[in-house]
């Protein structure tokens, strides 16, 4: 549905986006994840035709953004990082104004706006001035504006930034339900955000793609080993040797300083093998009590850090 091919954007000397390519499939919710300054907004502004690319192309539904911008813009609803709301208008004035801009026929405007306002939960706020709305409601109005004209594709730039946790969950659920009818690309610098909503994730760092996969595969793929921490009371050399003798254990090392008579070990093992039970029996047999045992499997946060630091090492 969206094809991004060898896209580069330079602002003077700054190369904000460096030769990136990826696609967004029809009907999917794609997460575009990266730290601040990674190039997310730049890419989204190019996809939506707000910025010209320096090199490369973007096609939406087969139409090139440079050659047929009107065709592309018709198919895209955009929620920029700063929602484009006029604060001195009421919600209904503003949404009517956007409907006119998007050439929605007058005869269809009311029915369409009623549906969109209902969907976005702003029906009770139609008469309010936008400047008097909370950030969460302004964001809903921003989302509502992106839905006008019923575009196939929604491009949402950090749609939950600045919202409180309750509002985040509400907007998330709204985006999930929009995903049933639209193809969505959503950017975020927060991992739980994309893993909660998206089926596939593109990680961008310093203008380059660092990884593309499902949240689950990202966790699996980068996780060639399984790690545990175990806090055990007993002499270090003996405990350490017993751990290493367990089938599947690759190595162990002590983490931090001893606490009374206990030490905390990081145990790395083959990811297919669960060493927790044999560890328990080995320590019980030797009379070294396990005080605490935890899995250290990588979360998406760790993967994000790993992927982005690997990139750092390259430059």
Least distance from ligand ADP to the Cβ atom of residue 137, Å: 24
Segment interacting with ligand ADP, rule: CB under 6 A, options 8-16, 192-200, 276-284, 288-296 = 8-16
Q: How far, in Å, are 120, 194, 222, 232, 240 from residue 170 at the CA level? A: 10, 15, 31, 44, 49
d(CA 309, CA 240): 30
Partner interacting with residue 31 (select from ligand ADP, Mg ion, none; CB below 5-8 Å by kind): none
Element (H, E) at 101: helix 91-101
Binding partner of residue 178 among Mg ion, ligand ADP, none, CB cut-off 5 to 8 Å per kind = none
- Cβ atoms within 10 A of the Cβ of 103, count? 8
158 or 170: CB nearest ligand ADP: 158
CB neighbour burial string for 248-272, b if at least 16 within 10 angstroms, e if fewer: ebeebeeeeeeeeebbbbebbbeee
How many amino acids of this chain bind ligand ADP (CB under 6 A)? 11
159 touching ligand ADP, by CB under 6 A:
no
Tell me the three state secondary structure of residue 144.
Answer: helix
Q: How far is the CB of 44 from Mg ion (least distance, A)?
A: 8
The residue (of 14 and 255) whose beta carbon lies closer to ligand ADP is: 14
User: Helices (DSSP H) in 102-257: which residue ranges?
Assistant: 106-119, 135-147, 165-178, 191-197, 215-221, 236-244
**Is residue 83 at the binding interface for ligand ADP, with CB under 6 A as the rule?**
no
- Best CA proximity match to 76, nearest among 88, 65, 89, 92: 65
User: Judged by CB under 6 A, does residue 182 bind ligand ADP?
Assistant: no
DSSP string computed for 102-135: TT--HHHHHHHHHHHHHHTT-GGGTTSBGGGS-H
Name which of Mg ion, ligand ADP, none residue 38 binds, using a CB cut-off of 5 to 8 Å depending on partner kind: ligand ADP
Q: Is 42 in the site for ligand ADP (CB under 6 A)?
A: yes
Binding track, positions 99-138, relative to ligand ADP; x by CB under 6 A: ----------------------------------------
102 in Cβ contact with 162 (< 8 Å): no
> Binding to ligand ADP by residue 39, rule CB under 6 A?
yes
Q: Which residues bind Mg ion (CB under 5 A)?
A: 40-41, 81
- Out of ligand ADP, Mg ion, none, what residue 28 binds, judged by CB under 5 to 8 A for its kind, is none
**Binder to ligand ADP among 34, 77, 151, 159 (CB under 6 A)?**
34
Establish if 37 lies at the interface with ligand ADP (CB under 6 A). yes
Helix (H, G, I), strand (E, B) or coil at 21: strand
Q: Which of 40, 75, 138, 140 binds ligand ADP (CB under 6 A)?
A: 40
Interaction of residue 53 with ligand ADP, rule CB under 6 A = no
Q: What distances in angstroms separate CA 84 from CA 94, 110, 140, 305, one per listed residue?
A: 10, 21, 12, 32
- Does residue 14 bind ligand ADP (CB under 6 A)? yes
Q: Which residues contact 207 (CB under 8 A, 6 or more apart)?
A: 15, 16, 17, 18, 20, 38, 39
Residue 50 has phi, psi (to 5 degrees) of -80, -25
The option from ligand ADP, Mg ion, none interacting with 16 (CB < 5 to 8 A, set by class) reads ligand ADP
Stretch of 21-29, 39-47, 217-225, 291-299 contacting ligand ADP, by CB under 6 A: 39-47
In the complex, the residues that contact ligand ADP under the rule CB under 6 A are 11, 14, 16, 34, 36-42
């Amino acid at each position: 549905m969206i094809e991004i091919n060898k896209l580069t954007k330079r602002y003077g000397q700054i190369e904000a986006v460096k030769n990136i390519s990826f696609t967004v499939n029809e009907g999917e919710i794609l997460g575009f994840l990266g730290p601040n300054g990674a190039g997310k907004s730049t890419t989204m502004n190019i996809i939506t035709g707000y910025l010209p690319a320096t090199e490369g192309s973007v096609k939406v539904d087969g139409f090139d953004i440079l050659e047929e911008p009107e065709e592309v813009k018709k198919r895209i609803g955009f929620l920029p990082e700063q929602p484009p709301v006029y604060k001195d208008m009421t919600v209904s004035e503003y949404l009517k104004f956007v409907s006119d801009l998007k050439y929605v026929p007058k005869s269809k405007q009311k029915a369409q706006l009623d549906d969109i306002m209902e969907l976005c939960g702003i029906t009770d706020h139609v008469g309010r001035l936008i400047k008097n709305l909370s950030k969460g409601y302004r964001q809903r109005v921003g989302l509502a504006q992106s839905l006008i004209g019923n575009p196939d594709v929604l491009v949402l730039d950090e749609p939950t930034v600045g919202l409180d946790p309750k509002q985040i969950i509400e907007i998330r659920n709204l985006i999930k339900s929009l995903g049933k009818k639209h193809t969505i690309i959503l950017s975020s610098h927060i991992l739980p955000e994309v893993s909660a909503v998206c089926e596939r994730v593109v990680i961008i760092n310093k203008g380059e793609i660092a990884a593309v996969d499902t949240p689950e595969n990202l966790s699996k793929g980068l996780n060639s080993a399984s790690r545990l921490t175990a806090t055990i009371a007993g002499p270090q050399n003996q405990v350490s040797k017993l751990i290493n003798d367990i089938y599947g254990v690759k190595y162990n090392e002590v983490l931090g300083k001893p606490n009374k008579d206990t030490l905390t070990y990081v145990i790395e093992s083959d990811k297919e093998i669960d060493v927790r039970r044999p560890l328990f029996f080995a320590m019980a047999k030797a009379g070294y009590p396990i005080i605490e045992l935890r899995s250290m499997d990588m979360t998406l946060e760790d993967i994000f850090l790993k992927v982005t630091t690997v990139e750092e090492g390259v430059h």
